[in-house]
Amino acid sequence: MTTSTTSSTPTSGVPVTKPIPATGPGIRIQAVPALRDIQVMIDGTSFTTNADGVIDAPEIRGSVSVRYLGYSASPPLQQVGFRTWSDGSTAPSRRLDADGQGHVSLGVDLRYRVTVRVSGANGSPSTKLTASSAVETLTFTDGSTRWVLSQRGELSEDRLTVKRVVYSFDPPRGGSAQKQRFTAGPEDLWLVKAT
């Protein structure tokens, strides 16, 4: 089994997969998407992912307990939640063999806070908007703010890859016939056009 990391190219925004070597002793955990400040407990000791979303603990040996603890950053501009391990395990706690099978990827859900505003003559505070994606459907009113799923680490064949979540708004009454599409980013403002 090969684990992988993903990153986005700034010009296209398309996730690119880079393999992580799956050999050697110790524990290596790669967060997908690659995020810093994710906490994982390994054999009773807390570790935090670095700027590349990696925890390296080459000194650990034997069969060890591993547990996803959460995300720690201040101020919390994003929410991060456990999703899956690269071998398909969906339990946050598990055991790894640091003497040969200790290299895994940790898939997480990444959410950002988004505010939705309606522009145009028909927008009012009571206007309800529905945003749909392949993952979830959300309801907003004009000016409302909520945490919205932006990216998630998804199992694809034998590795984790980053899946970006795109939301489509049906236009408010009196709005254009074309759906408007958005992907959540840090402290985003989604301006939905009603005219």
CATH code where residue 166 lies: 2.60.40
CA atoms of 170 and 73, how far apart (whole Å): 35
Closest CA to 19 of 34, 29, 4: 4
**Do 7 and 103 reside in the same domain of the chain?**
yes
Q: Are residues 68 and 54 in the same domain?
A: yes
Same domain, 8 and 92: yes
Same domain, 32 and 122: no
Q: Are residues 26 and 95 in the same domain?
A: yes
Does 79 lie in the same domain as 9?
yes
Q: Which of 86, 108, 130 is the last residue of a domain?
A: 108
Statement to judge: residues 141 and 99 lie in one domain? no
Provide the pLDDT for residue 90.
94
Q: What is the reported pLDDT for 4?
A: 37
- Same domain for 58 and 87, yes or no, is yes
Structural domains of the chain, count:
2
- Give the Cα separation of 191 and 172 in Å (integer): 12
Q: What pLDDT does residue 25 have? A: 79
Whether 95 and 137 map to the same domain: the answer is: no
Q: Which residues form the domain of 32?
A: 3-108
Regions of the chain short of the pLDDT cut 70: 1-24, 120-126, 171-177, 195
Domain boundary among 59, 78, 108: 108
Confidence (pLDDT) at 24? 64
Question: Which residue's structure tokens are 């749909």?
Answer: 132
Question: Could you read off the pLDDT of 134-162 as tens digits, one per residue?
Answer: 999 999 988 999 999 999 999 987 789 99
Q: Where are the beta strands (DSSP E) in the chain?
A: 3-8, 15-20, 27-32, 38-42, 45-48, 54-57, 63-71, 78-85, 93-97, 103-119, 128-132, 137-141, 145-156, 159-164, 167-169, 180-182, 188-193
What pLDDT is attached to residue 120?
67
Kindly state the tokens that stand for 27. Answer: 């524990």
Among 82, 73, 77, 72, residue whose Cα is nearest residue 31 = 82
β-strands 188-193, 93-97: how paired? unpaired
My answer on whether 49 and 19 are in the same domain is: yes
- CA-CA distance, 139 to 154, in Å (whole number)? 25
Final residue before a domain boundary, out of 108, 138, 164: 108
In three-state secondary structure terms, 11 is coil
Q: Are strands 103-119 and 27-32 parallel, antiparallel or unpaired?
A: parallel
Whether 126 and 184 map to the same domain: the answer is yes
Name the pTM for this structure.
0.79
43 and 128 inside one domain: no
